[in-house]
Chain A
């Protein structure tokens, strides 16, 4: 743990230059490299560069360089002005007015309020069929649900251009995290003229026009993308990197080898290899928080096993999960044991006291046996459950370990390994006992996790608790929502709709010559305009 702390602290120091300012700012004494390039690793082919159609992390990593939303993030993930230079909020917290800065698209056209209006309507429009249309609903933009459902026209969306430089957004309800949601690519502007002229293929090199600090030069599907500095970007004078390359390497181990060969400036560290790499490359092996939580969801629906309807059984399962072994012996990469659903690094999250977290594992195991016995399970009547997980070496390791942990409580776990789509399909049809799951934050605030377990949330295990829903409803308008979040987490700890296993960390090899990497931002968003390469 100390080691982890030191690494994080070190990382924090490294990230300092970018904290104080928006753009890349070399520290005194740092000598910039002649070649200002950054070669970033991608696991997969980029599915789309269309901001409104993108749904994944790696797509965002590229789109964040090509486009800019109304707001941006500093090195710690705090909201800073982006395409909007300032904004005001109405007293009822439902109307946001953004003042756009003088900025240009990469083809030289001015960025206007209408580009945002066009993009947002496009997101909600059923004709676009965006998988992220729900994000407009989540942001509570007025009329979004009706437009997605096709009962209102996209023109009725709660966004309008007051003039070329003013965007006014109307929400259906106060949404405390609204400004944070604007850093998601689905709410980025797109150039109406280009999109309408080129159709679905407007994102191809040569056609794509963006308002970000970089522009697209080439895109070989599943091989690489190259970007170069956009001289029309409003802050181009303070952008130091000139060339970005995103290289797809489908195998994590191959990516690591290529990092070591100097072909990549960033690659992920495969599970279990962090301790070794940290010794060999102390300057390059990094650990930083990543806003995802890994859990075993318990099926509480009518289709679920009878045993799981007993709270004591669920509590016993939560206690019997030996998180320290998972984190320290299996993953070994700075992950943290999860006692809450919300990731520890979320902005505005205060972890509630959990008596179980303070116990030793022996005490927890003893308590778990006690609870199971009370619920009527024991050596003569062992509890039988199946644990479903999708194909992956890491999921398998954890599942096999879990099987052993629960065996110690006299619970027999059958492992059920299925292909990804089958896993998802079964979960969404409540066809499982216990199933592996992970949730990642959409924006840097606890509600992005907690909304999952609302009775109306995604909530594959069909947990329903009126008190929980009420706490979250209250949080939306509360002066200090942290208290509501603490209460909600306390309910989850007591009711155990899922066994929380661990909270993610981003464990990566990073070339120490690249400075300004925002390691403290749990959203893992990074903006190449804030980075620079120093002479080594």
Chain B
């Protein structure tokens, strides 16, 4: 097991490097640059800016400086669009926000999604199942950019219970979490339901029932673990997606999260910020995929590395 983890970590480094190189090249090949503006800057002004941010160097040199900065000083460079801030500043401000609403949203969607999925599977083809499936399809087809305005309309404008946006204590968290959670919860519920149904039809469950085990023991001790395998492989990447934020949630609720910064930096060609967040998302993805693999081995004794 240890050997497996070490091997995976060793592969992670070249993977990340490859990610950096590909993103760097793709990003710089997009038309326009961070200082391309509606009113073109005079060439001298542009030259001064390029010199300050090292954009006058050949691409390979820029990339090398960038990678060396990260490795030696953990410095992801200055933002091109926010001259007072470094990429580290921007991530340090925005990541805790998305981490908060993402992690809570993730926990809630797993909790309710799994419960909903199990209930639907146990009461297969009953009205409970129909209702659970109906609710999850409903939640899944309602995109968050539709839910968000409705939430603000109801809770901010009509009821005046919650602030319509911004970031602070828990009242600010409620609507972003609901908007983010619903559709993910629905996907988890449907995935759990179908996987549970499959497991419930398998031989070892029939054996357990034949032994006369109570239904709850059958479900919780024998069916749940194998049924969770496909769900868990879905959860690893989902966790990363959720804690790195959603552009819709960040935009609509103005949370200041990095979900918005990611899209904005791509559109404004803020190369450094975009690279920084790409690397963050990449590293988290690699780490949580590894975690999923380890969990797999723990859940399913058939899997050994």
The residues of A with any CB-CB pair to B shorter than 8 Å are 45, 47-50, 53, 55, 126-127, 129-131, 133-134, 137, 145, 148-150, 200-204, 220-224, 247-251, 253-254, 257-258, 260-261, 263, 419-422, 424-426, 428, 437-439, 458, 460
Query: Of A201, A203, A221, A437, which one neighbours B90 at CB under 8 angstroms?
Result: A221
Q: Nearest Cβ in chain A — how far from B48, in angstroms?
A: 4
The residues of B that contact A258 with a CB separation of less than 8 Å are 152, 156, 164-165
Given contacts A50-B83, A204-B84, contact A223 B51 (CB under 8 A): no
Query: Of B37, B48, B256, which one neighbours A133 at CB under 8 angstroms?
Result: B48
List 9 additional A-B contacts (Cβ < 8 Å) besides A248-B254, A251-B251, A419-B267.
A131-B49, A220-B93, A222-B255, A247-B254, A248-B256, A421-B269, A437-B38, A439-B39, A458-B40
Q: Beta-carbon contacts of B83-96 to A below 8 Å, as 1s and 0s?
A: 11100001001100
Do residues B82 and A47 form an inter-chain contact, with CB atoms below 8 A?
Answer: yes
Q: Nearest Cβ in chain A — how far from B78, in angstroms?
A: 7
Do residues B156 and A263 form an inter-chain contact, with CB atoms below 8 A?
Answer: yes
Do residues B254 and A261 form an inter-chain contact, with CB atoms below 8 A?
Answer: no
Please, how many angstroms separate the alpha-carbon atoms of A309 and B281 in the complex? 51
The residues of B that contact A203 with a CB separation of less than 8 Å are 84
Indicate whether B131 reaches chain A with its CB closer than 8 angstroms: no
Indicate whether B44 reaches chain A with its CB closer than 8 angstroms: yes
Jot down 25 A-B pairs with beta carbons below 8 A, ordered by A: A45-B82, A53-B84, A131-B41, A201-B84, A203-B84, A220-B167, A221-B85, A222-B250, A222-B255, A222-B260, A249-B165, A250-B251, A250-B252, A254-B164, A254-B252, A257-B152, A257-B153, A257-B157, A258-B152, A260-B157, A263-B164, A421-B32, A424-B37, A428-B36, A439-B39
Q: Nearest Cβ in chain B — how far from A186, in angstroms?
A: 12
Q: Nearest Cβ in chain A — how far from B74, in angstroms?
A: 17
Given contacts A248-B254, A260-B157, A425-B36, contact A254 B165 (CB under 8 A): yes
The residues of A that contact B94 with a CB separation of less than 8 Å are 221-222
Indicate whether B301 reaches chain A with its CB closer than 8 angstroms: no
Q: Nearest Cβ in chain A — how far from B163, in angstroms?
A: 7
Do residues B38 and A424 form an inter-chain contact, with CB atoms below 8 A?
Answer: yes
The residues of A that contact B153 with a CB separation of less than 8 Å are 257
The residues of A that contact B267 with a CB separation of less than 8 Å are 419-421
The residues of A that contact B40 with a CB separation of less than 8 Å are 424, 428, 458, 460
Indicate whether B3 reaches chain A with its CB closer than 8 angstroms: no
Q: Nearest Cβ in chain B — how far from A134, in angstroms?
A: 5
Q: Nearest Cβ in chain B — how far from A392, in angstroms?
A: 12
A150, A260, A263 interface centre (most CB from chain B within 10 Å): A263
Indicate whether B212 reaches chain A with its CB closer than 8 angstroms: no
Do residues B254 and A421 form an inter-chain contact, with CB atoms below 8 A?
Answer: no
The residues of B that contact A126 with a CB separation of less than 8 Å are 48, 51
The residues of B that contact A437 with a CB separation of less than 8 Å are 38
Indicate whether B140 reaches chain A with its CB closer than 8 angstroms: no
Q: Nearest Cβ in chain B — how far from A421, in angstroms?
A: 3
Q: How many residues belonging to B are interface residues under a CB distance threshold of 8 Å?
A: 52
Do residues B149 and A223 form an inter-chain contact, with CB atoms below 8 A?
Answer: no
Indicate whether B58 reaches chain A with its CB closer than 8 angstroms: no
A222, A224, A248, A424 interface centre (most CB from chain B within 10 Å): A222
Please, how many angstroms separate the alpha-carbon atoms of A48 and B253 in the complex? 22
Least CB separation from B41: chain A residue:
A131
A53, A129, A249 interface centre (most CB from chain B within 10 Å): A129
Within 8 A of A (CB), among B28-84: 30-33, 35-42, 44-45, 48-49, 51-53, 78, 81-84
The residues of A that contact B93 with a CB separation of less than 8 Å are 220-221
Do residues B166 and A223 form an inter-chain contact, with CB atoms below 8 A?
Answer: yes
Indicate whether B160 reaches chain A with its CB closer than 8 angstroms: yes
Please, how many angstroms separate the alpha-carbon atoms of A533 and B93 in the complex? 33
Do residues A263 and B84 form an inter-chain contact, with CB atoms below 8 A?
Answer: no
Given contacts A129-B52, A133-B45, A148-B44, contact A200 B78 (CB under 8 A): yes
A150, A254, A420, A424 interface centre (most CB from chain B within 10 Å): A254
Given contacts A222-B260, A263-B156, contact A421 B48 (CB under 8 A): no
Indicate whether B241 reaches chain A with its CB closer than 8 angstroms: no
Please, how many angstroms separate the alpha-carbon atoms of A412 and B93 in the complex? 50
Least CB separation from A431: chain B residue:
B31
The residues of A that contact B41 with a CB separation of less than 8 Å are 131, 134
Q: Nearest Cβ in chain B — how far from A48, in angstroms?
A: 5
Do residues A438 and B31 form an inter-chain contact, with CB atoms below 8 A?
Answer: no
Query: Of B163, B167, B254, which one neighbours A250 at CB under 8 angstroms?
Result: B254
Please, how many angstroms separate the alpha-carbon atoms of A133 and B163 in the complex? 40
The residues of A that contact B100 with a CB separation of less than 8 Å are none
Indicate whether B268 reaches chain A with its CB closer than 8 angstroms: yes
Q: Which 3 A-B pairs have the closest CB atoms?
A: A421-B32, A129-B52, A222-B256
Least CB separation from A132: chain B residue:
B45
The residues of A that contact B261 with a CB separation of less than 8 Å are 222
The residues of B that contact A424 with a CB separation of less than 8 Å are 32, 36-38, 40
Q: Nearest Cβ in chain A — how far from B202, in angstroms?
A: 49
The residues of B that contact A200 with a CB separation of less than 8 Å are 78, 83-84
Given contacts A250-B260, A254-B149, contact A426 B31 (CB under 8 A): yes
Please, how many angstroms separate the alpha-carbon atoms of A357 and B254 in the complex? 44
Least CB separation from B97: chain A residue:
A223
Do residues B255 and A422 form an inter-chain contact, with CB atoms below 8 A?
Answer: no
B40, B48, B148 interface centre (most CB from chain A within 10 Å): B48
Q: Nearest Cβ in chain A — how far from B245, in angstroms?
A: 12
The residues of B that contact A201 with a CB separation of less than 8 Å are 84-85
Given contacts A222-B260, A251-B252, A261-B164, contact A131 B35 (CB under 8 A): yes
Do residues A50 and B84 form an inter-chain contact, with CB atoms below 8 A?
Answer: yes
Do residues A149 and B44 form an inter-chain contact, with CB atoms below 8 A?
Answer: yes
Please, how many angstroms separate the alpha-carbon atoms of A55 and B51 in the complex? 19
Q: Nearest Cβ in chain A — how far from B246, in angstroms?
A: 13
Least CB separation from A438: chain B residue:
B38
Q: Nearest Cβ in chain B — how far from A247, in angstroms?
A: 7
Please, how many angstroms separate the alpha-carbon atoms of A438 and B37 in the complex? 12
Do residues A221 and B256 form an inter-chain contact, with CB atoms below 8 A?
Answer: yes
Least CB separation from B38: chain A residue:
A424
The residues of A that contact B253 with a CB separation of less than 8 Å are 254
Please, how many angstroms separate the alpha-carbon atoms of A439 and B152 in the complex? 35
Do residues A247 and B268 form an inter-chain contact, with CB atoms below 8 A?
Answer: no
Least CB separation from B32: chain A residue:
A421
Do residues A223 and B256 form an inter-chain contact, with CB atoms below 8 A?
Answer: yes
The residues of A that contact B252 with a CB separation of less than 8 Å are 250-251, 254
A45, A126, A202, A224 interface centre (most CB from chain B within 10 Å): A45
Do residues B164 and A48 form an inter-chain contact, with CB atoms below 8 A?
Answer: no
Do residues B83 and A47 form an inter-chain contact, with CB atoms below 8 A?
Answer: yes
Please, how many angstroms separate the alpha-carbon atoms of A148 and B153 in the complex? 51
Do residues B45 and A223 form an inter-chain contact, with CB atoms below 8 A?
Answer: no
Q: Beta-carbon contacts of B147-179 to A below 8 Å, as 1s and 0s?
A: 011001100110010011111000000000000
Do residues A421 and B84 form an inter-chain contact, with CB atoms below 8 A?
Answer: no
Please, how many angstroms separate the alpha-carbon atoms of A237 and B37 in the complex? 41
Query: Of B30, B38, B149, B163, which one neighbours A263 at CB under 8 angstroms?
Result: B163
Please, how many angstroms separate the alpha-carbon atoms of A263 and B156 in the complex? 9
